[in-house]
Structure 1
Amino acid sequence: MSANSPERTGDLTVVLVKAGRTKIRYDAELLADDGTRVAVRAPWAGEGVRDFGFVRFETGDVFTEYYWRDRWYAVKEVRDADGALKGWYCDITRPAVLSGGELVVEDLDLDLWVSADGTDVRRLDEDEFADSGLEEKDPRAAAAAVAALDELEALARGTGIETLLA
């Protein structure tokens, strides 16, 4: 089944896990699930404003999030309350697991930001990743995480992140 004709839609809860504990959980609208990729939409779930300097996430922002069961990342398209595209926030994660009404994703610390016009591509949190100890605890997962970040950055600098979401 294609992403345009989902086998299931409705509501679910996104659960972001980091270092074995729940970092955040929030309700989202399930837009599509083609068996490999899950797409959801949710309002900004953080408290207040999160200002990174290069982008602000704030009340009214809407995230359309794409998770894969076979890839080590998630891509979140971020729009402001008026629908203007801010950019894409990409989390490096283990492949997503949808079970019942919960989409569980394990955050592996590495992130990538891509501005709406594609001119600002930033690798984020590499220090947190190094400090996480994943390279020692699970070298295979660490290698997959770094490869996923490299893949997303190359895509962002090449054809654009949005080609991944088509």
Structure 2
Amino acid sequence: MSVSSAESSLVVALVKAGRTRIRYPADLVRDDGTRITVRAPWAAPGVRDFGFVRFEPGDVFTEHYWRDLWFAVKEVRTGSGGLKGWYCDITRPAVLRDGELVVEDLDLDLWVSADGSSVLRLDEDEFEASGLADRDPVAAEAARRALDELELLARTDGLAALLG
């Protein structure tokens, strides 16, 4: 079912290590039963400069979450519409209930620049330090596979097909 952003909104809750890290309102763009797409402005205070990209007030994120996949893909644009790239979070499958989209971040990330020339695996050290492999080896293996899958998609122009 396609939903216009004017018709519906929800709250995205990003959970990490059992604690809610951030909650922010988002407009529901589409929910087809498997993939949930929302749009929201940059929700953190101030600017976050990663060196390879800056997230800042005015940026708009179109975020794609799946109920059956272990990742989320966030298209990042400037306030004027210029594409910065895609920030991909490795997560447990998303859960939408009672107007809240709950997403558990598993520390691994992937950045893909707008022109596709830069594909960066991020936070692998945080993932190893998280202890997930000891606490939940099945989830840890799913997270590693999801990162590999996303990297392959990014390097073979498969992200567009995934999001299309």
TM-score (norm 2): 0.96
What letter matches 1:70 in structure 2?
Answer: D
Tell me, in whole angstroms, the C-alpha distance in 2 between the residues paired with 1:125 and 1:38: 25
Residues 1:144 and 2:142 aligned together: yes
Please tell me the residue identity of whatever aligns with 1:106. Answer: E
- The percentage of counterpart residues that share the same residue type is 72
Within a 5 Å distance, the mapping from 1:101-116 to structure 2 comes to 101-116=99-114
> 2:25 is matched with which residue?
27
Matches within 5 A, 1:48-59: 48-59=46-57
Match of 2:35 in 1: 37
Can you list the C-alpha shifts for 1:124-148, whole angstroms capped at 9, x where unaligned? 0000000000001000000000000
Structure 2 counterparts to residues 11-160 of structure 1, below 5 A = 11-160=9-158
Give SS of 2:152's match.
helix
**Aligned amino acid, residue 108 of structure 1:** L
Deviations 1:73-118 (A, max 9, x none): 0000000011000000000000000001100000000000000000
Number of aligned positions between the proteins: 163
3-state SS of paired residue (2:115): coil
Alignment TM-score, normalising by the size of structure 1:
0.95
Cα separation, 1, equivalents of 2:94 and 2:86: 18
CA-atom RMSD in angstroms: 1.3
